[in-house]
Amino acid sequence: MTDHDLERWLSQLRKGSLEMVVLATLSGERLYGLEILGRLETLGVSEGTLYPLLNRLRKEGQLESEWETRESGHPRRYYRLTESGRARAEAMARRWREYNHQLDELMRPLLEGGSR
Amino acid sequence: MRHDERMEQEIQRYVSRLRRALSGLGESEVDDIALEIRGHIAECVEGSDDPTSSARRVLEALGDPEELAARYQTEAVLARGRAGRSPLAVLQAVQRWAMEGLFGLLIFLAGVAGYGTAIALVGMALLKPFFPHHVGFWWSPPEMVILGVAGGPPDPRLELLGWWIVPLGVVAGCLLWVGMTRWLGALLRRFRAFVSPLEVGRAAGGDQGAP
């Protein structure tokens, strides 16, 4: 596997967990698009991916949005979790932890072997 | 100042192209999306020392307005197609899929053929009372095998179904219609999860609808 392949594989992994990550970002507070993007910067999420996803999650009733006008500048659209969005995010987080745990067990020989 | 103006025009053009490409979604939804994207661009440009280059950077990160709109549309259509029992939503979702590759195209063609056959079967049954001698199932291979509507009425002695063609046609057509919708919906749930990266999270998160 070349570095390029490895990067592609990693970006598929990231995209796969994107919905969970976005829901998790909103677990504590309401945020608008640019703020969400800022928190996900290190995960390589682009605005072109984020906004359509936010729109779908809103349509599915997992998020709700509200506009806030500002004294100067464009209005901001804030997102927050709905009840069902929160339930879904929690369920995803639990499954994710379980899955991670199993993977850790599986990978241990690989990683310990590598440090020898 | 000329630069600012030109930049402003470019942003305006981007947003109106996006709006045009989003047609098909609800009007208020399009308004919200356009306002949100407009605000996003503006806020990225606001604090910057070099507005022109940062505006260009945001537009690039957003991608072509048509591509961005396609992502909005795909998300919307997919959500409906995967959840719904409506043939229109399912076929629309498959049509999006068809534009992405050969496999999707084949599924789409199969879908069109299946729904077309279903409509033809029901239509044939409905025509029987009006053209009793022209509608039927003539079986005399290898010269003649006709199911449906025949021009010059063939020999009635070779016709096998008689009036049974009405209930059989309606039932077969309806079964095919429902079966097609189920099958396409199942394919969407099974394969689209891997085709559209945004959808992978759904599948991994325990989609109850998945087989």
CA distances from B162 to B78, B124, B130, B168, B180 (A): 43, 13, 14, 11, 27
Tell me the angle at which helices A47-59 and B197-204 cross, rounded to the nearest 10 degrees: 50
Contact check, Cβ <8 Å, B79/A60: yes
β B144-149/B135-140 pair status: antiparallel
Contact check, Cβ <8 Å, B42/A49: no
Rounded CA-CA distance B34/B32 in Å is 6
Nearest to B188 by CA among B178, B201, B203: B203
Cβ–Cβ contacts within 10 Å for residue B198, how many?
18
Contacts of A96 (CB under 8 A, 6+ apart): A17, A20
What residue in B sits closest to A96 (Cα-Cα)? B205
Contacts of A69 (CB under 8 A, 6+ apart): A75
Question: pTM for the whole thing?
Answer: 0.63
Summarize pLDDT for A26-84 with one digit per residue, the tens: 998 999 999 999 999 888 888 999 999 999 899 888 999 999 998 888 899 999 999 99
β-sheet bridge partners, residue B138: B146, B159
Summarize pLDDT for B64-107 with one digit per residue, the tens: 999 999 888 887 776 666 565 677 777 877 887 787 788 888 98
Number of A/B CB contacts below 8 angstroms equals 96
Contact check, Cβ <8 Å, B44/A34: yes
Q: What is the ipTM of this complex?
A: 0.86
